[in-house]
Amino acid sequence: MAPAPPHDDAAPARPEPPVRALATGLAVLRSFTPDRPSLTVSDAAAAAGTTRATARRVLHTLVHEGYAVQEGRDFRLTPRVLELGHGYWTGTSLAEILRPVLTRASQELEQSCSAAVLDGPFLLYIARVHTERIIRVNLDVGTRMPAFLTSMGRVLLADLPPATVRRVLEAAPRTPRTPRTVTDVEALLEEIARVRRQDHAVVTAELDDHLSSVAVPVRGPDGAVVAAINTALPHRTPGAAEPSADEQTRAAVAQALPVLREAARDAEDALVALRR
């Protein structure tokens, strides 16, 4: 009897050609960002690097499947896109572990706290606890931001080899958001090296003029950084007899760091227990 053909799982690994239509559809999906929640066909085509005809077909497919709606010439995503990440979120307990520690930190600091992981040159928010304070930047679970201009992004980049960090920074768009945004690669490498030494990052008014934050790493049982957590820092214009804005930031960092480090240790203990 002839031997049975080998099972697919046992076959030698060979690179499979990508499904171009799927890759294009994913590129169009990624074109929607907090800064661009609505896109025209031309916008989507330019952002995804495809033709207007292809972008139109993808957008109308998203509408047909309930992942987007069309309003005149504009398209925007619907909450149903969260279903696409359901398998990931239910298959990992990282976000679930981080939510309670973020809640405790947020209550103690009376500030919003977040957790994120690195997604190429981007930061992906996986957990967030809001306060009642007004935040001008829409940052929620699933939000992707350029890693270079966020405190959590710099903490996560600091865990990579310096040569890898350079490649990521050189390949990533580094569009300034405020006059204080650092975009020079050498300056960013120097700042990320500082983050690596001090094991935390502070970003002041680089993402938004009125938003500053401090972040620390969360390490897995093997010592590798698996996520970063951060908190917003109080921001207000000082009066004539008050400390300067930089002095206020330093004081806020000194208050927040012990709370964040304790939250990170709690999360790390939970990750170790999960492995047992």
Residue 66 is predicted with a pLDDT of 87
Last residue of a domain, one of 65, 83, 101: 83
Digitized pLDDT (tens) for each residue of the chain, 276 residues in all: 555 555 555 555 567 888 999 999 999 999 998 778 889 999 999 999 999 999 999 999 999 998 888 889 999 888 677 667 656 555 456 888 899 999 999 999 999 999 999 888 889 899 998 876 545 456 778 888 899 999 999 999 999 999 999 999 998 889 999 999 999 999 999 999 999 999 999 999 898 888 889 999 999 888 889 999 999 887 655 444 455 567 888 899 999 999 999 999 999 988 887 666
Residue 155 is predicted with a pLDDT of 97
Cα separations in angstroms, 219 against 105, 141, 162, 232: 17, 20, 19, 21
Residue 24 is predicted with a pLDDT of 94
Both 229 and 171 in one domain: the answer is: yes
Rounded to whole angstroms, the Cα distance separating 200 from 163 reads 20
Both 209 and 123 in one domain: the answer is: yes
Using CB atoms within 10 Å of the CB of residue 122, give its burial: 0 to 12 exposed, 13 to 18 middle, 19+ buried.
Answer: buried
Number of domains in the chain: 2
Question: CA gyration radius for the chain?
Answer: 21
- The answer to whether residue 3 sits within a structural domain is no
Residue 230 is predicted with a pLDDT of 96
Owning domain of residue 146: 92-275
CATH code of residue 193: 3.30.450.40
Both 108 and 195 in one domain: the answer is: yes
Both 65 and 201 in one domain: the answer is: no
Rounded to whole angstroms, the Cα distance separating 72 from 228 reads 40
Both 189 and 61 in one domain: the answer is: no
Both 136 and 253 in one domain: the answer is: yes
Both 49 and 98 in one domain: the answer is: no
Residue 26 is predicted with a pLDDT of 94
- The answer to whether residue 24 sits within a structural domain is yes
Q: What six digits make up the tokens of 225?
A: 């950084």
Both 97 and 141 in one domain: the answer is: yes
Both 134 and 225 in one domain: the answer is: yes
Among 186, 190, 205, 191, smallest CA distance to 248 is for 205
Q: Rounded to two decimals, what is the model's pTM?
A: 0.68
Both 147 and 226 in one domain: the answer is: yes
CATH code of residue 64: 1.10.10.10
- The answer to whether residue 2 sits within a structural domain is no
Both 74 and 100 in one domain: the answer is: no
Rounded to whole angstroms, the Cα distance separating 27 from 51 reads 12
Residue 221 is predicted with a pLDDT of 85
